[in-house]
Chains A and B, each alone.
Chain A
């Protein structure tokens, strides 16, 4: 065991009751509304003792562990408490998990984004468990009057071997709760782990499969009203006037009014990005009534002039400004603009060696361009939030990835200090980055304040899809120079997008090619965008990995061998500095995928194979995708995924994330896209916006993890981008045609 000082976020190991102005907010009845079964009641302790902000021990030895971060389907509500339980040294069957509310005094980074929950939470979660375990041991030692060094723990029981005494955690919990947190504690060594690394099923699994209220949209409170919004039908428009006479007369309607979500001139964070800051709101008794009334609103919209907006950056220590041009934009003109810009010199982001001369003396040059459209996040649960704002308090609850940011936004908007605002996180029906941008949280608060009533704001699917913070539209043009011996001597990427570039100048193959040039461009747009699962990577990975496939082919090399040679070079003799990857781990996943899939470079029978590998968000993923053609239609038969995310906390959930990312990547590359006509999204529901469906999913996905003891990293994003490359490369083998423009297949099958 390693002895570690608790200096790491020591505040976390204080009790909530000891915190000035802090403390946990009380759970709402509608969140706890699932009746426990008689068996569960019998097992519940009579009294709970809070050992620190992360956990309580019951007098019967059960533990309640708080899960600090928002749960959006990435499974942190199970895996984060597993880490605490491991160091607490308790039987997982005796653990209850609770979603922590936002509490910045105790928890750090209560945010779902960047695949960072496990990576950045790891140390703190271990310390929380270890600290509590130490205090329980101290309590037992005190009772037995023996030195604490002589007592050990095993699955919730404390032993003093020499005197043959044992006591359960529950019996010493009340004493332990009175002790002060130690200055230093022992952590388990990795080979002592019993819970971490063991398949542990979703703690909400039973509630999910029995339909218990869990999600934001399921919230209900006595006297609660339902609110819906009417927003401009096109980007580039703003509200001029509206006629609500008919809506007001409709049954169940309480009020119709317009709101300004964000007032001009007030400071905004990057997560306050909001395309439509002025909205019409309809409030009534029930969803159906409000939905119908909403349809009768006659609104007039007007174009706005271009403007510039300032946003505080993530850490809040700086800001950036965004140009929002006026006008109504079209996908066709977007495409023309992207083509034109990709043909021009752009902003140089990195240059190694002398790319110009490398291309001049090249024996062969490969040049290709790739594009991808805007994408809507389309979380299965549409945007919604509950708010109950009174004169001296605001209670907010629902699905949000950035509660800490939103607390500040709400505070500044409704004029209540931070300590009068409570934010609870419900389970979230998907995030994918959409719920980082919480304008709907502020909207709910403003509406509740105006109505002087608890309000649940709900978006329809159409609202959700046409009021997005979309994945931008992207373009990448690549050139590769090969010498006589088919060595890659020059590499050039020029990437851009509307309104942001997907370029990562320091990612592979930077560092592996002597002469390298990366350029970047962008075109401002008033179509609002934001982070979408693995931002920028979600396009550039597929483009780069498809291009490398063509370069390998032009060089007459096996695509895996070709990449591994480049990684060898990047490892032994790297070009330039700041290369943003570990070449050995990168090559490692490729080798593992090659081994597990029995890759021999060839098509066997009617199975066509594509390969890819990518690194983002601190994890490495390689894919080999097997495709068959059935009646001229590509069928993904099997996908092999090799993943290096360091130590795997929960294998069954980690595998699920990799499978899901794989399906998601295939789906978006193959079928999805959002197009615009005169500023209007042309797809606003699932009849026209295509998402992958059962019959199109891979028939089988095999996931393999690299076994190592590296610090654990995340999986929410990394499995998503690379598969698009393997898919494109397999499609080429299967059809003889390269696919450069996503979505690869646009034909819409009929769904009954």
Chain B
């Protein structure tokens, strides 16, 4: 057990926990931030994607002790009311089927667009390949990413 002070979604949160605990479970079990999903636990599905300093990271493989003071963003912190252009594009394209993978998809997509505001199809594939959608919404996700990229550039 150890105490950690974490910077999550702009707030300072305190947990007293086994230092090896992956951020995924810190978020889900200890902070009730359950938007970040468990899919595989071995960094293969992307359901647990969060941002560490704006970079997409698989939280199931990230021990809480490795985070330090870095800025953590989860799906809950992406925007207050879902007004982030990527979330808006997701709604506009009506992307989700079951919806379970979508928080992870959105987190990967927002990190991609932050680093590369107008990605090519290949760049989208590359950045998103670690996020599985079992329902097969890939074509809509790509459309949503492109439309979010356009909106962001026009605004």
Contact = CB atoms under 8 A, between A and B. Distances in A.
Interface of A: 37, 72-75, 199, 201-202, 204-206, 208-215, 217-218, 220, 226, 251, 286-289, 378-382, 427-432, 458, 460-461, 652-653, 656-657, 659-664, 667, 685-687, 691-695, 697-701, 751-752
Contacts of A220: 32, 34
Contacts of A659: 136-137, 139-140
**Closest CB pairs A-B (n = 10):** A211-B35, A663-B136, A429-B100, A73-B98, A211-B75, A697-B138, A695-B125, A208-B99, A686-B44, A73-B97
B119 interface: no
Given A205-B91, A211-B34, A381-B98, A288 B29 contact: yes
Q: Which of B18, B32, B45 has most A Cβ within 10 Å?
A: B45
Contact of A201 (B94, B97, B135): B94
Interface of B: 1, 18, 21-22, 25, 28-30, 32-42, 44-45, 47, 74-76, 78-79, 81-82, 87, 90-91, 94, 96-103, 106, 121, 124-126, 128-142
Contacts of B103: 208-209, 211
Given A659-B139, A694-B131, A694-B138, A211 B42 contact: no
Contact of A209 (B106, B131, B136): B106
Nearest to A286: B29
B76 A288 contact: no
Nearest to A427: B99
A661 B136 contact: yes
Q: What is the predominant secondary structure among interface residues of chain B facing chain A? A: loop
A695 B126 contact: yes
Given A206-B82, A218-B34, A379-B100, 20 more contacts: A73-B135, A202-B96, A204-B99, A209-B82, A210-B75, A210-B87, A215-B100, A380-B37, A380-B101, A381-B37, A427-B98, A428-B98, A429-B99, A461-B45, A656-B94, A661-B136, A685-B41, A687-B44, A692-B138, A695-B125
Contacts of B47: 380
A656 B98 CA distance: 11
A210 B87 CA distance: 8
A211 B97 contact: no
Contacts of A657: 97
A721 to B, nearest CB: 14
A160 B107 CA distance: 53
Contacts of B139: 659, 663, 697-701
Contacts of B25: 286-288
Contacts of A205: 90-91, 94, 96
B78 to A, nearest CB: 8
Nearest to B34: A218
A648 to B, nearest CB: 14
A202 B1 CA distance: 43
18 contacts: A201-B91, A201-B94, A202-B99, A204-B96, A209-B106, A210-B35, A213-B35, A380-B45, A430-B98, A430-B134, A663-B138, A664-B135, A691-B134, A693-B129, A693-B130, A694-B125, A697-B139, A751-B130
